[in-house]
Amino acid sequence: MRLGSHVSIAGRLYLSVARAAAIGCQTMQIFSGNPRSWLSVKYDSADIAEFKKRRQAAGISPVTIHLPYLVNISSPDDEIRRKSVKAVLADLDIAKRIGADYLVVHAGSHRGAGRDVGLKSIAESLKEILTAPFGSVSLLLENTSGAGNAMGAGMLELGKIFNYFNHEERLGLCLDTCHAYGAGYDLATEAGLNNLFADIDSNFSFSRVHFLHFNDCRGALGSGLDRHEQIGKGFIGEHGFRLILNHPRLQQLAGVIETPNPNPDDDKLNLAKLRQLST
């Protein structure tokens, strides 16, 4: 399993590679711009060329771009939905230009309009998005912890979305361990982990799973809370991460931490912890 971290692009895009390499990343995730803004950024060609060169030299693969938090492709509000589609297409364009492999977006929220409305909205959004030229990029929906009106917490609902489209190579899943735990999948135990995989198998092809987010969980099992914790210090715990990291079905995948990092060394320490638990 290839392990890495979410890293900052502050300053210049290419600087993110050195940040990733310095903490021992084999794979990495970035925001293309400000995660709390709708504005998409423009990188100049020198920055992109340098990024590609340095990434190659550092042997970092795959590279993932995470969409901003404001994006809601399940929104019942047509203006927000359109803005969200535009944001996904803008990041898809960036992903192709910088040679990223995956684009991760949360399934979004129906904002109280009901799950059926949410499903209709997300289907509408994906229909527009998936007809764009993708190159070798894949769009990954990230499972959510299910709080409030969040879509895509359970594998049943994600399966409904995936199976609506034929684009198996363009549309897959980014599996977040904290969100799965918050949604009621007990990843602290082997039975719970196998139950998650069985739930995937009965709703969509396991080959849809491309990327992982390794986060421990501060919220209780099934609480719906999306509160990340440092690896080993939450409810999933060291034992749970040992099970996840060594599970035969996940060995060909890659994933990153998105753990809290109040101290400068936190990402490095959490990544080292993952590596230690994976052997």
Which has the closest alpha carbon to 142: 199, 193, 192, 214?
Answer: 214
Nearest distance, CB of residue 142 and Zn ion, angstroms: 5
Q: What are phi and psi of 138, to 5 degrees?
A: -120, 140
Under rule CB under 5 A, how many of the chain's residues touch Zn ion?
4
Interacting stretch for Zn ion, rule CB under 5 A, among 29-37, 49-57, 196-204, 226-234? 226-234
Interacting stretch for Zn ion, rule CB under 5 A, among 11-19, 156-164, 212-220, 243-251? 212-220
Is residue 57 within 8 A of residue 104, CB to CB? The reply is no
Nearest distance, CB of residue 227 and Zn ion, angstroms: 8
Rounded to whole angstroms, the Cα distance separating 127 from 164 reads 10
Is residue 74 within 8 A of residue 110, CB to CB? The reply is yes
- The answer to whether residue 216 forms part of the interface with Zn ion (CB under 5 A) is no
Q: How far from 242 is each of 94, 130, 253, CA to CA, in Å? A: 35, 36, 15
Rounded to whole angstroms, the Cα distance separating 19 from 8 reads 8
Compare residues 216 and 258 and give the one whose CB is closer to Zn ion: 258
- Pairing of the two strands 209-214 and 216-217: unpaired
The residue within the footprint of Zn ion, chosen from 101, 216, 226, 229 (CB under 5 A), is 226
From residue 57 to residue 86, the character string flagging contacts with Zn ion as x (rule: CB under 5 A) and all else as - is ------------------------------
Is residue 273 within 8 A of residue 232, CB to CB? The reply is yes
- The answer to whether residue 176 forms part of the interface with Zn ion (CB under 5 A) is yes
Nearest-CB residue to Zn ion? 213
The residue within the footprint of Zn ion, chosen from 19, 55, 106, 213 (CB under 5 A), is 213
Length of the chain, please?
279
Interacting stretch for Zn ion, rule CB under 5 A, among 74-82, 124-132, 198-206, 250-258? 250-258
Interacting stretch for Zn ion, rule CB under 5 A, among 42-50, 69-77, 83-91, 209-217? 209-217
Rounded to whole angstroms, the Cα distance separating 214 from 3 reads 9
Compare residues 176 and 267 and give the one whose CB is closer to Zn ion: 176
Compare residues 14 and 219 and give the one whose CB is closer to Zn ion: 219
- The answer to whether residue 218 forms part of the interface with Zn ion (CB under 5 A) is no
Residue 58 CB neighbour total at 10 angstroms: 16
Nearest distance, CB of residue 166 and Zn ion, angstroms: 26
Give the torsion through C-alpha atoms of 245, 250, 251, 253, to 10 deg.
-110
Residues that bind Zn ion (CB under 5 A): 176, 213, 226, 258
